[in-house]
Amino acid sequence: MEIEDVEIENQKEFMKKVSKKTNNKKYFILTMGCQLNENDSEKLSGMLEKMGYSETKDVRQANLAILNTCCVRENAEERLFGKVGELKVLKEKNDLIIAIGGCMMQEKHIQEKLKKSYPYVDIIFGTHTLHKFPEDLCRVLETREKIKDVIDINGTVYENIPIKRSNKISGSVTIMYGCNNFCTYCIVPYVRGRERSRKPKDIIKECEDLAKQGYKEIVLLGQNVNSYLKSEMEEIKQGKRIDENGDYSQIDSFAKLLKAINMIDGIERIRFISPHPKDFTDDVIEAISSCEKVCKFIHLPLQSGSTRMLKIMNRKYTKEQYLDLVDKIRNKIPSVKFSTDIIVGFAEESEEDFKETLDVVQKVGFEQVYMFIYSRRVGTPGDKMKNQVPDDVKHERFDRLKELVENKIADSNKEYIGTIQKVLVEGISKNNESMLTGRTDSNKVVVFDADKSLINSVIDLKIVEDHMWYFKGERIN
């Protein structure tokens, strides 16, 4: 047994101990940030349900409240401290246990602020100690002491943590943790540690289990999915790691992982977020092209269209290389569609640089653009750069980008009208209970009238109306 497995067995003992103390107890969990954090929360929920807790969406009913934090952008901080303040009243009334975890807890200045201004918080845990939540909770229940369980390491991969999934149609599978890229605006490498990949066999098993449970879609998650196993293969090459059990003999790259998951019966769709343009090798393009279950829809973060800015951002590609990559993928996979992330107003960004970004948006024609106003993050090189862009300029650029993006989306939406799209039916529409909702391969929402029995199946729909952020579809058989 490996040391990580021993640790998880140890945590199972704590789970048993806590379950003896819990009687009808309820937990509330609030997740901020990205899908990786959502997946972490699913693991927290899984552990808690094993400990006899059940979930409540109403924090006033809860015995335990967990806030799973994000620190990629600033507004999350204000939101967190507001929430912690609100919880104080409930703590006094209901003896609520308050636990705060996730990325923000890896930041020293946040830990200090919590200690000083919010001393009533019971558990502070970081990104590397999530698996130890049963032990931390057990200690609080037994001793009522305040616990800070945050470690600053490069990270370890733990398997077999119980999981309770929040989505019954699409299953998220984290394939790698951490990031090695150190883009100069980004806090992630400091709070999530270095890249480390899960073993192929563990990922395949998780995907097979999802298929057995009836899941049709798998979303592979990681900060930089196309460098899956890169660090491990490098270590093997240098003799720093020995592949004793042949774990990497069949699958040693992201492309091969896609191919292996494509073979799993029952799974109909495979998505992945996010790849890095610099690691988008030909074998990955070939795998997307040849695997019928892999969506021909690629989220390809651009961040900026200016080569000068990309250098300042440490992105390791130029505007031309990005556009060439898009062209190359389009040549191999003619039906492919793209979405992207863009930051406006990063330090040093001039009007000319910004126009380069608009130019790339104009040229590529993304299906969706996630736009972010640059937010200075303590500890990153970007925060120390001299020429910060004034707030009003950032907002003005953001609005111009938004206008272009919306015009481009309106154009590309027109092309859908009258086409037949494969749609994975996700459930009843939130805005109209007599309708169902689903998504196309290119992640567009389609609302349509059909029988509920179709939920969790892939059907053909004709796109008949364009409502900008969703389409109306009709059954064709």
Asked if 459 and 423 count as a contact pair (C-beta separation under 8 A), the reply is yes
Contacts of ligand SF4 in 399-428 (CB under 6 A): none
Give the single-character DSSP code of 22.
-
Using CA atoms, how far apart are residues 140 and 137, in angstroms rounded to an integer? Answer: 5
343 is a site residue for ligand 5AD (CB under 6 A): yes
Q: Which of 131, 315, 377, 439 binds ligand 5AD (CB under 6 A)?
A: 377
Site string for ligand 5AD, 181-200 (x = CB under 6 A): ----xx--------------
Binding range to ligand 5AD, per CB under 6 A, among 57-65, 138-146, 372-380, 459-467: 372-380
364 is a site residue for ligand SF4 (CB under 6 A): no
- 223 contacts which partner out of ligand SF4, ligand 5AD, none, CB within 5 to 8 A by kind? ligand SF4
Q: Which of 372, 443, 466, 475 binds ligand 5AD (CB under 6 A)?
A: 372
Q: Which of 22, 181, 184, 375 binds ligand 5AD (CB under 6 A)?
A: 375
Distances from the Cα of 411 to the Cαs of 341, 358, 423, in angstroms?
Answer: 19, 16, 21
Using CA atoms, how far apart are residues 165 and 204, in angstroms rounded to an integer? Answer: 17
225 is a site residue for ligand SF4 (CB under 6 A): no
SS3 per residue for 313-376: CCCCCCHHHHHHHHHHHHHHCCCCEEEEEEEECCCCCCHHHHHHHHHHHHHHCCCEEEEEECCC
Binding range to ligand SF4, per CB under 6 A, among 43-51, 87-95, 179-187, 199-207: 179-187
Burial (0-12, 13-18, 19+ Cβ within 10 Å), 246: exposed
Using CA atoms, how far apart are residues 159 and 290, in angstroms rounded to an integer? Answer: 30
370 is a site residue for ligand SF4 (CB under 6 A): no
* CA proximity to 322, closest of 297, 296, 340: 340
Nearer residue to ligand SF4 within complex by CB, 200 or 382: 382
To ligand 5AD, the closest distance from the beta carbon of 107 in angstroms equals 13
- 372 contacts which partner out of ligand SF4, ligand 5AD, none, CB within 5 to 8 A by kind? ligand 5AD
Using CA atoms, how far apart are residues 344 and 73, in angstroms rounded to an integer? Answer: 13
Asked if 169 and 427 count as a contact pair (C-beta separation under 8 A), the reply is yes
At 195, the amino acid letter reads E
* Torsion angles phi and psi, residue 349, rounded to 5: -70, 120
Nearer residue to ligand SF4 within complex by CB, 266 or 379: 379
Nearer residue to ligand SF4 within complex by CB, 191 or 436: 191
Half-sphere exposure for 295 (CA within 13 Å, toward CB)? 28
DSSP E strands in 337-470: the ranges are 337-344, 368-373, 420-428, 436-440, 445-448, 458-466
413 is a site residue for ligand 5AD (CB under 6 A): no
Q: Which of 12, 17, 73, 330 binds ligand 5AD (CB under 6 A)?
A: 73
183 is a site residue for ligand SF4 (CB under 6 A): yes
To ligand SF4, the closest distance from the beta carbon of 189 in angstroms equals 5
Contacts of ligand SF4 in 252-291 (CB under 6 A): 276
DSSP E strands in 52-117: the ranges are 54-55, 64-69, 97-102
Binding range to ligand 5AD, per CB under 6 A, among 10-18, 120-128, 314-322, 374-382: 374-382
Nearer residue to ligand SF4 within complex by CB, 89 or 153: 153
Nearer residue to ligand SF4 within complex by CB, 227 or 437: 227
Of all helices (H) and strands (E), which one includes residue 290?
A: helix 282-290
Half-sphere exposure for 64 (CA within 13 Å, toward CB)? 30
* CA proximity to 161, closest of 52, 11, 2, 35: 11
To ligand SF4, the closest distance from the beta carbon of 186 in angstroms equals 3
Binding range to ligand 5AD, per CB under 6 A, among 45-53, 103-111, 373-381, 456-464: 373-381
Residues that bind ligand 5AD (CB under 6 A): 72-73, 185-186, 301, 303, 341, 343, 372, 374-375, 377
Residues that bind ligand SF4 (CB under 6 A): 179, 181-183, 186, 188-189, 223-224, 276
